[in-house]
């Protein structure tokens, strides 16, 4: 028997065990990096001392109005000061942060408010009409609304709700944060894009987010005091956890309300932005920027891209402009990116075209994960031959706790001890994974997931429509857009413009078909629509 069998007195205690949480990063930074610039947005500039104080005021103000630990506080805000501060301020009072997609329709917002049981919602003035419409159709108790009026845009406060700056002024800058007693406590609630109907609520724990913030700097080759631009919406996996990560490194978060090539170039040139993440559409935006929007800079900007596999031509084009792009992959259920296209120095000497093709692969596990691989239908490892297809599965600490109020979906997602992505991929000899297709007919448009079923349901509500199917159509700007194939009822008529207008009245704009093709739909003998045929037409017609 080894000496470790006798562990008397070797217990966890306050001195040797503290629950892991990203909140610790800002607590530390408030002292270690007190005078370093922490947040920049428009005219707003805050040091870490000031950032910590404002976050503390937000947490205190929420506690003062009755927000209790474990309750949900929602936000519908762009990547501006209030959204950045909410990343820490909401969990600092023990609450669970629910960042909601600002592009959603009122019905879906109402569902999320109801399902998550939001106690409070911080809402940017621009999105008040959608939120107020949602409040009118909610089934449960309406959340208390705090209005966020952005001084950088021409949206005057409605004066119908408490305003954010006035609200946090009621809080105590010396408020003592409620740190988690258990790192498994819930930190955030993020809703999926609803690719199979209603969105599912993905629950993050403090441990998973902490480890994301520790693993990402390794993969991103980060040094101290990076300048990070928040391009990825903070409603997407909490911005891939990057805002929680910045205080670890004494870095600066540069807010960004509306993404444009000019904003990105200006921030690189003026603020010295060194890192940002974005979907391939952002890369294309930079490549195709007008000469008047471009700015000179003399440092390499590191970019994480995800959301849809970028075209090799896109990667080749942006590489010439001073940006080094790394392809990453993940899902809402994995806190964002957990797979990276880890570069092999042996590829330095191959052609640029070959390099871009390799960079388009999703890659291998990042440091915070234990296993990411591709398996067959029996959950056995597939041959790593670059041809055989299987499902991407994952295991590690940066996997969600589960789906909120949905134990059946949670159990299904965690079968055989892995999280099942339902993304189809091949695996190369070096272990690199490359997405080949998707189990579900997901359309990824500008980094947003769109459910073909949801769009089909909206189209089927038109009185002239008999049958429809929606597939992805390649798009130079957005990567993919919805393309609808429609069969009309006998004796009925409509046209593309009218049908698109009809759907736009039911769904968010980005979910609306950009093209409608009227034809008989190909079907199997049992009546199942053969979407693979429609995809070919959408790509070539």
**What secondary structure letter does DSSP report for 462?**
S
Mean pLDDT, the chain, whole residue set:
92
pLDDT in tens, 34-47: 999 999 999 999 99
The Cα–Cα gap between 482 and 459 comes to 12
* 156 within a domain of the structure (yes/no): yes
What pLDDT is stored for residue 437 in this prediction?
Answer: 58
What pLDDT is stored for residue 414 in this prediction?
Answer: 98
- Supply 224's token pair: 């101290």
Domain that holds residue 510: 442-540
**Domain C-terminal end among 372, 404, 419:** 372
The b-or-e profile of 411-434 (16+ CB within 10 A means b, else e) is eebbeeebbbbbbebbbbeeebbb
**What secondary structure letter does DSSP report for 293?**
G
* Statement to judge: residues 81 and 180 lie in one domain: yes
**Residue 422 contacts by C-beta under 8 Å, 6 or more apart in sequence?**
391, 438, 439, 440
pLDDT in tens, 93-119: 999 999 999 989 999 999 999 999 999
CB 36 within 8 A of CB 45: no
The Cα–Cα gap between 122 and 74 comes to 6
**Residue 387 contacts by C-beta under 8 Å, 6 or more apart in sequence?**
426
Which helix (H) or strand (E) is 52 found in, with range?
helix 48-64
* Between residues 491 and 264, the one the model is more confident about: 264
What pLDDT is stored for residue 440 in this prediction?
Answer: 59
pLDDT in tens, 184-214: 999 999 999 764 568 999 999 999 999 999 9
Q: How confident is the model at residue 314 (pLDDT cuts 50, 70, 90)?
A: confident
Number of domains the chain is built from: 2
The Cα–Cα gap between 386 and 432 comes to 9
Q: How confident is the model at residue 5 (pLDDT cuts 50, 70, 90)?
A: low
Q: How confident is the model at residue 308 (pLDDT cuts 50, 70, 90)?
A: low
What pLDDT is stored for residue 4 in this prediction?
Answer: 61
* Statement to judge: residues 355 and 483 lie in one domain: no
The Cα–Cα gap between 204 and 186 comes to 6
CB 241 within 8 A of CB 368: no
* Statement to judge: residues 292 and 145 lie in one domain: yes
pLDDT in tens, 493-518: 999 999 999 999 889 889 999 999 99
Instruction: Starting at the earlier edge strand, list the strands of the sheet with 44-47.
Output: 44-47, 37-41, 252-254, 227-229, 275-278, 301-305, 323-331, 336-340, 364-365
* 435 within a domain of the structure (yes/no): no
* Statement to judge: residues 343 and 448 lie in one domain: no
Residue 442 in this model has a pLDDT that exceeds 90: no
* Statement to judge: residues 106 and 199 lie in one domain: yes
Residue 249 in this model has a pLDDT that exceeds 60: yes
* Statement to judge: residues 365 and 448 lie in one domain: no
What pLDDT is stored for residue 435 in this prediction?
Answer: 83
What pLDDT is stored for residue 526 in this prediction?
Answer: 41
pLDDT in tens, 12-65: 999 999 999 999 999 999 999 999 999 999 999 999 999 999 999 999 999 999
Other residues' Cβ atoms within 10 Å of the Cβ of residue 344: 10
3-state secondary structure of 134: helix
* Statement to judge: residues 449 and 364 lie in one domain: no
Residue 3 in this model has a pLDDT that exceeds 60: no
* Statement to judge: residues 357 and 493 lie in one domain: no
What pLDDT is stored for residue 287 in this prediction?
Answer: 87
pLDDT in tens, 381-430: 999 999 898 999 999 999 999 999 999 999 999 999 999 998 888 899 99
- Of 134-138, 278-282, 386-390, 438-442, give the lowest mean pLDDT range: 438-442
Residue 118: give its domain's CATH number: 3.40.50.12780
Q: How confident is the model at residue 445 (pLDDT cuts 50, 70, 90)?
A: confident
The pTM of this model reads 0.84
Alpha-helix runs per DSSP H in 324-406 = 352-359
CB 437 within 8 A of CB 424: yes
**Domain C-terminal end among 372, 387, 412:** 372
- Of 207-216, 257-266, 307-316, give the lowest mean pLDDT range: 307-316
**Domain C-terminal end among 351, 372, 393:** 372
* 450 within a domain of the structure (yes/no): yes
**Residue 403 contacts by C-beta under 8 Å, 6 or more apart in sequence?**
200, 201, 202, 203, 409, 410, 413
* Mean per-residue pLDDT, 115-138: 98
* 264 within a domain of the structure (yes/no): yes
What pLDDT is stored for residue 311 in this prediction?
Answer: 66
**Residue 17 contacts by C-beta under 8 Å, 6 or more apart in sequence?**
none
* Statement to judge: residues 203 and 335 lie in one domain: yes
- Supply 448's token pair: 């947003």
- First CA to last CA distance, the chain: 73
Beta strands in 194-257 (DSSP E): 201-205, 227-229, 252-254
**What secondary structure letter does DSSP report for 295?**
-
* Statement to judge: residues 228 and 334 lie in one domain: yes
Alpha-helix runs per DSSP H in 147-192 = 164-169
The Cα–Cα gap between 144 and 162 comes to 9
């Amino acid at each position: 028997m080894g000496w470790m069998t006798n562990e008397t007195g070797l217990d966890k205690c306050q001195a040797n065990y503290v629950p892991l949480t990203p909140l610790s990063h800002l607590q530390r930074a408030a002292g270690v990096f007190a005078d370093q610039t922490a947040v920049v947005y428009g005219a707003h500039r805050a040091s870490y001392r000031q950032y910590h104080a404002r976050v503390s005021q937000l947490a205190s103000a929420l506690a003062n109005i009755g927000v209790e630990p474990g309750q949900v506080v929602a936000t519908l805000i762009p990547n501006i000061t209030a959204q950045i501060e909410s990343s820490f301020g909401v969990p600092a009072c023990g609450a669970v942060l629910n960042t909601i997609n600002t592009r959603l329709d009122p019905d879906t917002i109402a569902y999320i408010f109801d399902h998550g049981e939001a106690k409070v919602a911080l809402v940017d003035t621009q999105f008040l009409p959608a939120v107020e419409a949602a409040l009118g159709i909610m089934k449960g108790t309406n959340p208390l609304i705090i209005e966020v009026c952005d001084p950088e845009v021409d949206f005057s406060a409605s004066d119908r709700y408490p305003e954010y700056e006035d609200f946090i002024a009621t809080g105590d800058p010396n408020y003592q944060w409620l740190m988690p007693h258990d790192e498994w406590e819930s930190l955030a609630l993020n809703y999926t894009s609803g690719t199979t109907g209603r969105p599912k609520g993905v629950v993050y724990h403090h441990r998973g987010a902490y480890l994301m913030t520790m693993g990402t700097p390794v993969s991103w080759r980060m040094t101290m005091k990076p300048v990070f631009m928040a391009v990825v919406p903070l409603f997407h996996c909490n911005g891939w956890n990057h805002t929680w990560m910045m205080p670890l490194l004494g870095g600066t978060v540069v807010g960004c309300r509306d993404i444009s090539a000019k904003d990105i170039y200006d921030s690189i040139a003026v603020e010295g932005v060194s890192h940002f993440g974005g979907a391939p559409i952002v890369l294309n935006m930079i490549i195709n920027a007008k000469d008047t929007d471009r700015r000179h800079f003399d440092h390499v900007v590191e970019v994480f891209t995800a959301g849809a596999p970028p075209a090799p031509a896109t990667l080749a084009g942006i590489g010439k402009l001073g940006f080094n792009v790394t392809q990453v992959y993940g899902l809402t259920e994995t806190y964002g990116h957990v797979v990276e296209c880890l570069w092999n120095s042996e590829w330095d000497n191959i052609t640029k075209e070959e390099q871009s093709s390799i960079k388009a692969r999703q890659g291998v596990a990042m440091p915070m994960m234990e296993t990411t691989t591709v398996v067959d239908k029996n959950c056995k490892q597939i041959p790593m031959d670059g041809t055989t297809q299987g499902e991407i599965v994952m295991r590690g600490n940066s996997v969600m706790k589960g789906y909120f109020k949905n134990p059946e979906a949670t159990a299904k997602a965690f079968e055989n001890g892995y999280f099942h992505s339902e993304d189809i991929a091949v695996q190369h000899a070096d272990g690199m994974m490359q997405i080949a297709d998707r189990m579900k007919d997901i359309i990824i448009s500008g980094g947003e997931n769109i459910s073909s079923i949801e769009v089909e349901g909206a189209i089927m509500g038109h009185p002239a429509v008999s049958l429809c199917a929606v597939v992805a159509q390649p798009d130079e700007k957005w990567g993919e857009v919805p393309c609808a194939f429609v069969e009309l009822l006998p004796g009925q008529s409509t046209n593309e413009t009218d049908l698109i207008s009809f759907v736009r009245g039911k769904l968010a704009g980005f979910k609306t078909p950009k093209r409608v093709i009227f034809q008989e739909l190909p079907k199997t003998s049992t009546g199942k629509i053969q979407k693979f045929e429609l995809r070919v037409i959408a790509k070539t017609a």
